[in-house]
Amino acid sequence: MPKTTRSAAGVGWKLFPIALAVLAGALFSLSVRPTQQHFDYTFRIADAFLHGHLGLNSQPPSWLNEMVRVREEYYSVFPLGAVLAVLPVALLGEVGLMKGFSGGFLAALIAGLCVYSFYQLAGVDPNSKPRRILLALFPIFGTWSWCNLGLGGSWQIALGFALLGQAGALYLTLQRQRPFLAGACFALAFGNRTELILTLPIYLYFWSPWPDAHLPSGNRAAKGLPRGWKPLGWFLAIPVALAICTAAYNFARFDSIFDFGYARIANLTQEPWYRSGLFSLHAIPWNAFKMLFEGMQDIPTFPYLRPYPFGCSIFLSSPFLFLLFREGGNLKALAWSVIGLLTLVLWCHGNPGGWQFSYRYAMVLLPWMFLLLLHNGPRKLSATELGLFLVSVAINAIAVYEFLWTNDIHP
């Protein structure tokens, strides 16, 4: 092959992840209808930031019932990181380039960036191109992320940013080894979903300055990972800054650095699922049932399945996840530990997630599930993986249709 031809082919493959991400984002945008983007809590607070306020000076619309009034202002219970994540959208609105909160646009952007990050992360080991493409598309189109992110409300967008932040942090740690950017992505993740701060020890382990800290043998990323106090410091720079700013933000609103305001929502503690508190061991059975065992309704007409409006098993919504239990994988113990810890925290939350397809909170588990699926399978795409992927996409396409394009599913 002539040198110029080889060079052009190399450039083409370098641009391929970007093209795949753009295509995925476009397909996502065309397939969803953001019916909940009017729940624009974070956007309204970000817009208030631009005008020198931490909250709203006037009473918000009635549908924004999770705003908390303290003194003369109304505050959002979303953490600071979730507000900062949509600040660029507020800036675009301020200069007239965007009108209001475009949850659909943000959801599509997040979907495309997730596909890019997962595709690049799949290059940690020498997998075939078709398998990398399938694995990159799976977390968005083969799981409940498609439907829930497509709703476009602040709750779903925050989960999408948490998914993207984790995917980016793992990619920039295990594949590219960029500590500052990896730290920024980690801050994006826990800034939107506070429970993800529990994964910090994993990243500290990866960037540890001690010579005996290493990734499992056989993992290509173990070679050349820069370690020492300097890379660790670069990784922690933005997360530490965000943690300090979040503490100050909480104190300025609620006079406590640990108070995010959630318990202050009007009548929240009177709801039956919060009688034992916002977090309680009593909530575990209900959450476990919703996440693992809840089924769907069978109906006599197309599409023959109808999800319940408040949850169904993640394995029923995504049969591809049954491949998690294959033997092997360099990061098996680490990934299962993170999944177990985060799942325990999610199960202790009094409400399993409200209006949703499947178990939306489990979106934060997908990057760690991705690592398991990446390492415990063959290097080349198998017929089993392809078949389960297509079934998973079909099930989630049905959910998108029924939740976002029809009025068949009601509370």
Residue 14 lies in a domain: no
Phi/psi for 162 (5° steps) reads -65, -40
What's the number of domains the chain is made of? 1
Residue 60, C-beta contacts closer than 8 angstroms, at least 6 positions apart:
44, 67, 74
With tokens 């598309």, the residue in question is 137
Output the pLDDT for position 304: 78
Output the pLDDT for position 226: 61
Output the pLDDT for position 79: 95
Output the pLDDT for position 60: 92
Q: Which amino acid is at 208?
A: S
Domain that holds residue 388: 20-404
Residue 376 lies in a domain: yes
- Return the percentage of the chain with pLDDT > 90, whole number: 70
CA distance 98 to 121: 32
Output the pLDDT for position 216: 45
Residue 347, C-beta contacts closer than 8 angstroms, at least 6 positions apart:
283, 284, 287, 288, 291
List the structure tokens of 219. Answer: 């993992």
Residue 410 lies in a domain: no
List the structure tokens of 221. Answer: 């990323």
Output the pLDDT for position 214: 45
Output the pLDDT for position 2: 59
Decide: helix, strand or coil at residue 78: coil
Decide: helix, strand or coil at residue 307: strand
- Burial group, residue 279, by CB count within 10 angstroms (0-12, 13-18, 19+): middle
Residue 221 lies in a domain: yes
Residue 1 lies in a domain: no
Residue 3 lies in a domain: no
List the structure tokens of 220. Answer: 């290509």
Phi/psi for 298 (5° steps) reads -100, 135
Phi/psi for 68 (5° steps) reads -115, 125
Q: Which amino acid is at 305?
A: L
Residue 148 lies in a domain: yes
Q: Which residues of the chain have pLDDT under 70?
A: 1-13, 210-228, 410-411
Residue 386 lies in a domain: yes
